[in-house]
A and B are shown apart, each in its own frame.
Chain A
Amino acid sequence: MARFFVERFLGMLVTLFVVSIMVFIIMELPPGDYADRFAFRKFSGLGITVTEADIQAIRVELGLDRPAVERYFSWIGNIVLRGDFGMAYAFETPVTRVIGDKGWLTLGLLVVTLLITYVVAIPVGIYAAVRRGSAPDYALTVVSYLGLALPNFMLALVLLYFANRWFGASIGGLFSPGMQQAPWSPAKLWDLITHMWLPALVLAWSALAYQIQTVRATMLDELGKLSVVAARARGVPEGKLLVKYPARLAVNPVVSTIGFDVNRIFSELPIVAAVLGLTELGELLLRAYLDLDMNVAGAILLILTTIIVVMNFVSDLLLAWLDPRIKLGG
């Protein structure tokens, strides 16, 4: 167990290292650098002509004239050692301040989304497999096709439209108006919970459709296994049999793809957040990209990816615990 754990942990660190390099490359991609944008922003509208020398001065002051490799190591070093993601130029404050509690909000949203996905997908997928070929099974197949074809953000728009038409209600946001700026309190937390389920449901949409199909397919596969027939031949009652034998194994592929689901959810997050007005990392990432505030964008991309990598690690451990066939020796 210890060896398995250490191996996976080291693998995770290597992945994070390579990911951080790619994130850094993305941050460097837009034409011009932080100094250009900083200078443009600071002096535009003031009637001051900015010369190339001025920009160069800023560049030197911020250490942007150093080679990329050096800048990468100072960037990642500050993040790892001091939790310092640099300055957000659009806000002229440290990135950590801009992000604030948005990281926690995002994490909370993620957890609720995953919970909805699994609590719905596992029983529904099992039911569809057991009732294979029935009307509910066909209906679910249609829904899963839609899960891929109707992107989450369009679902969000559709829901917004109908909520407005039928209930006259605005369903966006993570908080009631007025609660947004309030300090954290039990009332604010409750407000968050009552607002969170709908965005979570929208975010869960495609992961849900995918997982229902996965569970259904695995379950169908398992239902035909000899071990199930053998258990039935020993007189195990049908209900207990389904749960103990095929269903128990149908959960494994779900566990092994947790990281994948987190990836899918984060992938949809920025656009859904924009549509539903969710004030968390996804929405901030989109704004940062539009403003070319690459320090913020890079920080968020790195945070999101780190969460995914960690979830992959967790799912590996969970699977090893759930499935004795995986040799813990490595």
Chain B
Amino acid sequence: MDPILQVEDLTVAFRTEEGPITPIQGVNFAVGRGRTLGLVGESGSGKSVTTKALMRLLPGNARIDPQSQIRYRAKSGEWVDIHRLRDGARKLRQIRGGEIGMIFQEPMASFSPVYTVGNQMVESIRLHTSLNRREARALAIEMLAKVGLSNPGQRIDQYAHELSGGMRQRAMIALALSAGPALLIADEPTTALDVTIQAQVLDLMRDLQRDLGMSMIFITHDLGVIAQIAQDVAVMYLGTIVEKGPVREVLKAPQHPYTRGLLRAIPSLDRLTHRLSPVPGDIPGPSERPPGCPFHTRCTEAIAGVCDRLEPAETMLAPDRSARCHLLQTAGRATA
């Protein structure tokens, strides 16, 4: 795999009134050039914090651990250590938008209500290219057409609140792509949409990714969506990646009890006779992270005395496939 982004040992801590919390602990993953990585987990698992950390968009009370490494391969071919960039550095600004684009769950809130869609697109294009105002506007219209908005010449002068939900998310995608990023981070882009529109937007994103040769990080809580759009998947639970690998293999043979639980919770046509079984229990708050394996409080296969004491190490199952579970280690030891 030719990586465009490598994240090693990412740890993020927040200062809060109730004391420090660490919602992200030792996260490792890589995104391949031209591939899509799906990041899956329940809300509160740290998916959004992870992607915000990649763009250095965390709030002031957050701190990225000095051990962490976020390395990005720019279009020019050089490697940029994002974790080392100064706040407000020129390079960071170039990366934001120009190299890595980002779209969010709520398209309405992502647009400023007092500027037209075109205003914000032209701003972004002119920040990252040398186009003049008129050329930037032409490009913006072209992008709006590309994401499938009818009448783009007219839409460009509308405000976000004048568009429908699906159109807004398309406009948001156009805005994120307008400066030609090589990597797109999509934070639950379809969650707030109707089911039919969800499918349309997913198709659109898949097509765009293929046509533009982009890489993508796609965040969702829905493994079903992952199957449709991603080639690789990483499953997060309470700030750590519990399992990752190529989508087909992970879905076919999940190794971590949590991944298996998520899979059982997906409705599917060939299992209509079974009741859906959600993962039991609730995800603990970030300040109540259990000792040992973070999942042991909800795991039906937990080994008493082991899972609640020791944090499981990463077990490499294949060069591009791994999981963090004591069951795998004991199984591995038994066969060895």
Contact = CB atoms under 8 A, between A and B. Distances in A.
Interface of A: 225-227, 229-238, 244-245, 248-249, 322-325
Contacts of B94: 235
Contacts of A322: 114
Contact of A248 (B93, B114, B176): B114
B55 interface: yes
Contacts of A230: 102, 104, 110-111
Given A226-B106, A233-B55, A235-B124, A324 B113 contact: yes
Interface of B is mostly: helix
Nearest to B160: A227
Contacts of A234: 96-97, 101-102, 120, 123-124, 127, 175-176, 179
B88 interface: yes
A227 B93 contact: no
**Most chain B Cβ neighbours within 10 Å, of A226, A231, A234, A244:** A234
A201 B18 CA distance: 43
Contact of A235 (B97, B106, B161): B97
B109 A233 contact: no
Contact of B159 (A225, A235, A244, A324): A324
20 contacts: A226-B104, A227-B111, A227-B112, A229-B52, A229-B57, A229-B104, A230-B102, A230-B104, A230-B111, A234-B123, A236-B97, A236-B124, A236-B127, A237-B93, A245-B112, A249-B113, A323-B113, A324-B114, A325-B113, A325-B159
B10 interface: no
B109 A227 contact: yes
Contact of A238 (B88, B95, B120): B88
A236 B106 contact: no
Nearest to A327: B161
A319 to B, nearest CB: 11
Contact of B96 (A227, A233, A324): A233
Contacts of B96: 232-235
Q: How large is the interface on B (under 10, 10 to 19, 20 to 34, 35 or more residues)?
A: 20 to 34
A112 to B, nearest CB: 29
B120 A231 contact: yes
Contacts of A248: 112, 114
Contacts of B110: 226-227, 230
B63 interface: no
B98 interface: yes
A47 B109 CA distance: 80
A129 B10 CA distance: 30
A233 B101 CA distance: 7
A12 to B, nearest CB: 26
A248 B120 CA distance: 14
A244 B126 CA distance: 15
Interface in B153-202: 159, 161, 175-176, 179
Given A237-B93, A324-B159, A232 B113 contact: no
B273 to A, nearest CB: 42
A248 B106 CA distance: 21
Contacts of A237: 88, 93
A249 B114 contact: yes
Contacts of A232: 57, 96
**Most chain B Cβ neighbours within 10 Å, of A227, A236, A323, A324:** A227
Interface in B113-141: 113-115, 120, 123-124, 127-128
Contacts of B176: 234
B97 A233 contact: yes
Given A233-B57, A235-B96, A237-B93, A226 B109 contact: yes
Contacts of A227: 109-113
Interface in B236-290: none
B93 to A, nearest CB: 4
Nearest to A237: B93
A232 B102 CA distance: 10
Nearest to A322: B114
Nearest to B158: A324
A248 B115 CA distance: 10
Given A244-B112, A323-B114, A325-B113, 6 more contacts: A226-B109, A227-B109, A227-B113, A231-B112, A235-B95, A322-B114
Contacts of A229: 52, 57, 104
A235 B128 contact: yes
A325 B116 CA distance: 11
A244 B94 CA distance: 19
A233 B124 CA distance: 10
A220 to B, nearest CB: 12
Contacts of A244: 112, 115, 123
Contacts of B101: 233-234
A324 B162 CA distance: 10
B102 A233 contact: yes
Contacts of A238: 88
Nearest to A238: B88
A232 B120 CA distance: 12
Nearest to A249: B114
A275 B176 CA distance: 60
A236 B104 contact: no
A116 to B, nearest CB: 26
